[in-house]
Chains A and B, each alone.
Chain A
């Protein structure tokens, strides 16, 4: 090992490969059979269960857990996939602490919810391990639908359309399908190449063609797609990144957190990935937490998340915050970046404290500096490259009902569309529901 956490600047191999591999292993390891039985047994099979309501895809959670109890995890998986074809990924990445598990009555009763996410993983893993796909393509309708974006929204939409018998072509600008499942989600949430395996498994239904390296805007136009296909679904996510608006933002060492994470997810040898000795992440969401935690896991000596508002406003859940803290990440609240200092490259970053004033957030005038040879911006992604002619709602594609845009024959869902949280599971729900609506429109 040539470098250490104390090596100055941005450097690879701060930890040996073995330690890095250990650091990036499964955050919540899979249950074995007995653990799953014990965990499943805690479910009360609530009437009209609150967890179902809390799940954006409305999985019948008590039913699938009962199927696990009864020794039938594959049946449990079917119950899950009926509602959420990316139930395997969602089991790994959903912030369950703010969704189903928050609603679990055992959370209210004893602060220990049934571990729904891990049970869901147990069930979906069991069925996926069989290598077969549990659904068949519906009888061919002769209708053709173009799906732009192979993220969770696009994949869920395509799968449901295939179930209905439509022919689907998915176009994606990137070289691989999966969207942020492949390029964004933290490594330790989806180990072992799960994202691609899941896409391959999903496509086994047939009737779906994936064309990568095809970007809407440059390689394709919406009008051309509308001419060629009976309907178009847009699931293009958020490709833009908000600017920091701090002095010195253009200095070396300042980068977008999502780019760092994408590179991290694609690299075949994590220990070769350079990371700063002093890393500062600016933002308060999952992206900020993931960039910070993974920097630390790569061997950065000091990692800090600075968020401009108070802890309670942070969009990363308390679980995510505690995860960061447990890995040694320092969290600073009520501090906004003012200037990145350094000669060509970042060396320090200066913050100013904030408080809630009459007209919103206001600076207090008090500043402080921390060492920073790498600064990650994680202050939110924005819609970038939405096709012309679609009405926007704020900075997302305006949709009504199940993803209907203002243009006929064009639906949208997932992060790029208005409404709903920017979560994998929400994208799945929106893609699925748009597919149902497209089907009704095409066959009506």
Chain B
């Protein structure tokens, strides 16, 4: 059986699944339940200096549903912990003492001044926790006070605060990045330059989930008004995966440990984060929607998949897909495929036809008896028909072998790899010698 145990920046946990800093890790009671359920670690709900902040007293969450009220995304306007610092510290200490084998990381957000960090760090160390995570991510509320995303959006601040932390504690320092920037590599480089042991990402994405059309208030509505919140859950996973991959393949940050966060719901999501360079994953929304019990599916699923593939440890999975993430310009233009429709599997809904005819390349013919066939002369291989087909594997993209003629271009498919950098249509192509 695969060994799921993880050593991430020196922090050990029995599995790579940590609960992200959020309501699930808000207090001792929850964290004990999480550990009993089998979670490998927690990042404690972000601590701040006293006097502790207050939350709104109306609804904090907005939601986006898929079919059957399945939660696709949640946004929140919650701030960091709204309990006294001392209460949290005492609880962390007790929990860590009782669960020495689990990872307990403490998330922190204090004003952007060195005295504040100097004040809080020793207290945190005293709990016996395994590391700290700097919350430079919250896109709402705290950022209006010059903390959270307000720091995370300025690489110089990230570096500066990371340096202060490294100078004032021996604990491993993770920097939690905000996705509310244009290029995630800059804050990651800054964290790296500041000496961070690793980065965690993503925090939530600035968002408005919906507007109540009767009251004209954004949701969640507080007395008729709404504020943008932070979006998370399955809907944000593609954005998070890309950001993780960007950092993993950036030469300046390559090898920097990454704790992957954003929409992890099943073992498969976790495996994808790992493959793109994460060494641990963090989960918030899935636990908030389904409870702590999902950890059993996460660990069993990951373990079974690793056994099937012959991976024996987490570090064998970490980064496996990174070499395959490249720039568009390097994609092989001699890789030619055509859509193929399996007539036996086809249920004749015609969605592929509508999609291709109305919005793609008019490459599907509708024949008598609702028979749908691909017109190779027109098919550009965009894949849209595959995406909209309700039957899995009914439409597939089949590669043309070298030597075959692409009926659309009339050209013989070449065996050699060739990309845009050498393409004749590219004005800056390097002349092929």
Give chain A's interface residues, CB within 8 Å of chain B: 34, 37-38, 41, 44-50, 105-106, 108-109
Contact = CB atoms under 8 A, between A and B. Distances in A.
B390 interface: yes
Contacts of B331: none
B351 A44 contact: yes
Given A50-B370, A109-B391, A44 B67 contact: no
B222 interface: no
Contacts of A50: 348, 370
B113 interface: no
Cβ-closest 8 pairs across A and B: A47-B350, A47-B354, A41-B67, A109-B347, A46-B349, A105-B347, A105-B349, A44-B349
B390 A44 contact: yes
B416 interface: no
A47 B351 contact: yes
Interface string B67-87: 111000000000000000000
B353 interface: yes
A105 B348 contact: yes
B172 to A, nearest CB: 46
Interface string B328-361: 0000000000000000000111110110000000
Nearest to A109: B347
Contact of B68 (A37, A44, A48): A37
Q: Tell me which of B69, B348, B353 has the highest count of chain A C-beta atoms within 10 A of its own C-beta.
A: B348
Given A34-B69, A38-B67, A41-B67, A46 B350 contact: yes
17 contacts: A34-B69, A38-B68, A41-B67, A41-B68, A44-B349, A44-B351, A44-B390, A45-B351, A46-B348, A47-B349, A47-B351, A47-B353, A47-B366, A50-B370, A105-B347, A106-B347, A109-B347
A34 B68 CA distance: 8
Interface string B264-286: 00000000000000000000000
Contacts of A49: 350
Contacts of B390: 44, 109
A110 to B, nearest CB: 9
Contacts of B353: 47
Contacts of B67: 38, 41
Nearest to B65: A37
Nearest to B389: A44
A44 B354 CA distance: 12
A50 B351 CA distance: 12
Contacts of B391: 109
B178 to A, nearest CB: 34
B182 to A, nearest CB: 34
A38 to B, nearest CB: 5
A108 B350 contact: no
B345 to A, nearest CB: 9
A272 B106 CA distance: 76
B158 to A, nearest CB: 43
Contacts of A45: 351
B68 A108 contact: no
A47 B358 CA distance: 11
B68 A46 contact: no
Contacts of A41: 67-68
A109 B391 CA distance: 8
Given A38-B67, A106-B347, 13 more contacts: A37-B68, A44-B351, A46-B348, A46-B350, A46-B351, A47-B349, A47-B354, A48-B350, A105-B349, A108-B347, A108-B348, A109-B347, A109-B390
Contacts of B350: 46-49
Contacts of B351: 44-47
A65 to B, nearest CB: 13
A38 B366 CA distance: 30
A36 B177 CA distance: 42
A372 B351 CA distance: 55
Nearest to B66: A41
A34 B69 CA distance: 9
Contacts of B348: 46, 50, 105, 108
A44 B69 CA distance: 18
A47 B352 CA distance: 9
B379 to A, nearest CB: 18
Nearest to A107: B347
Contacts of A38: 67-68
B210 to A, nearest CB: 12
Contacts of B370: 48, 50
A328 to B, nearest CB: 35
Nearest to B372: A47
Contacts of B354: 47
A109 B389 CA distance: 12
B295 to A, nearest CB: 28
A151 to B, nearest CB: 35
A114 to B, nearest CB: 11
B399 to A, nearest CB: 28
A38 B348 CA distance: 22
Contacts of A106: 347
Contacts of A37: 68-69
Nearest to A41: B67
Q: Tell me which of B68, B350, B351, B354 has the highest count of chain A C-beta atoms within 10 A of its own C-beta.
A: B350
Q: Tell me which of B69, B347, B370 has the highest count of chain A C-beta atoms within 10 A of its own C-beta.
A: B347
Contacts of A108: 347-348
B36 to A, nearest CB: 33
Contacts of A105: 347-349
A41 B67 CA distance: 6
Q: Tell me which of A47, A48, A106, A108 has the highest count of chain B C-beta atoms within 10 A of its own C-beta.
A: A47
Contacts of B69: 34, 37
A423 to B, nearest CB: 25
Contacts of A46: 348-351
Nearest to A69: B67
A106 B68 CA distance: 18
Q: Tell me which of A37, A44, A50, A108 has the highest count of chain B C-beta atoms within 10 A of its own C-beta.
A: A44
B191 to A, nearest CB: 43
A341 to B, nearest CB: 54
Q: Tell me which of A34, A46, A106, A108 has the highest count of chain B C-beta atoms within 10 A of its own C-beta.
A: A46
A46 B350 CA distance: 6
A108 B68 CA distance: 23
A69 B68 CA distance: 11
Nearest to B354: A47
A397 B353 CA distance: 43
A113 B366 CA distance: 23
A193 to B, nearest CB: 34
Contacts of A48: 350, 366, 370
A38 B347 CA distance: 21
A176 B347 CA distance: 46
Interface string B381-410: 000000000110000000000000000000
A155 B246 CA distance: 67
B362 to A, nearest CB: 14
Interface string B14-35: 0000000000000000000000
